[in-house]
A and B are shown apart, each in its own frame.
Chain A
Amino acid sequence: LAKTTQPISMDSYEGQEVNITCSHNNIATNDYITWYQQFPSQGPRFIIQGYKTKVTNEVASLFIPADRKSSTLSLPRVSLSDTAVYYCLVGDIFTGGGNKLTFGTGTQLKVEL
């Protein structure tokens, strides 16, 4: 699995857009990029997944440049409830949901009033 690097922490205020960037320089051709969110004392929750360009759902957007060596999770108009740890993962989804996921330490996002 490709190694990922993301900031340890970020601070923001309610109503702002937050962009969390993840570096994955050795991403492979078949690798997809997936982001999870985790609140304290809970299991992580899948947010979004993408391969290239831009993916958007009701929660977030994922921007992936042409070289795919990085990706940016964009959270529009954050609220206090978006305070959580965000994990970026990279891997080949077609070798399995049975494939191993490697969670790093993630990015601790803190949203204030």
Chain B
Amino acid sequence: DGGITQSPKYLFRKEGQNVTLSCEQNLNHDAMYWYRQDPGQGLRLIYYSQIVNDFQKGDIAEGYSVSREKKESFPLTVTSAQKNPTAFYLCASSARQGSYEQYFGPGTRLTVT
């Protein structure tokens, strides 16, 4: 099956701890993205990567970090510097050009207390 996987589905952390969210795709897509969604809100772009070993900040990158060492993987670290980390995090991928069709993973709901 081709698609995007995110793990875990639910994640609980104590304030002050860094946490890494996993995102893997086997669609052979060049581009990958991380979004954050708060209740009743649209998605906001955190980071995106168009190619391996390259990534750009999105609209709300502060307090987050990413890496893109492999085409298939784009992990997101929520650092202790992120003021309000509790949210629903969505990873997506797409072919590099020619479509706005992004394929989304099932999401990770992070709760920090």
Contact = CB atoms under 8 A, between A and B. Distances in A.
Interface stretch (A18-26, A44-52, A64-72, A75-83): A44-52
Interface string B78-113: 000000000010101011111111111111010000
Contacts of B40: 105
Contacts of B43: 44, 101, 103
Interface string A80-100: 000000010101011111111
B48 interface: yes
A42 B35 CA distance: 12
Interface residues of B, number: 35
A96 B92 contact: no
Interface string B22-54: 000000011101010000111111001111000
Given A91-B100, A100-B45, 11 more contacts: A34-B100, A34-B101, A44-B104, A49-B99, A96-B31, A97-B99, A98-B48, A98-B50, A99-B100, A105-B42, A106-B42
A43 B90 contact: yes
B39 to A, nearest CB: 10
Contacts of B63: none
The 6 closest A-B CB pairs, nearest first, are A43-B104, A97-B94, A98-B50, A103-B42, A103-B43, A98-B31
Interface of B: 29-31, 33, 35, 40-45, 48-51, 58-59, 88, 90, 92, 94-107, 109
A7 interface: no
Interface of A: 32, 34, 41-46, 49, 87, 89, 91, 93-106
Contacts of B106: 42-43
B20 to A, nearest CB: 19
Contacts of B50: 96, 98
B101 A46 contact: yes
Contact of A97 (B35, B58, B95): B95
B92 A43 contact: yes
Given A45-B104, A49-B101, A96-B50, A101 B96 contact: no
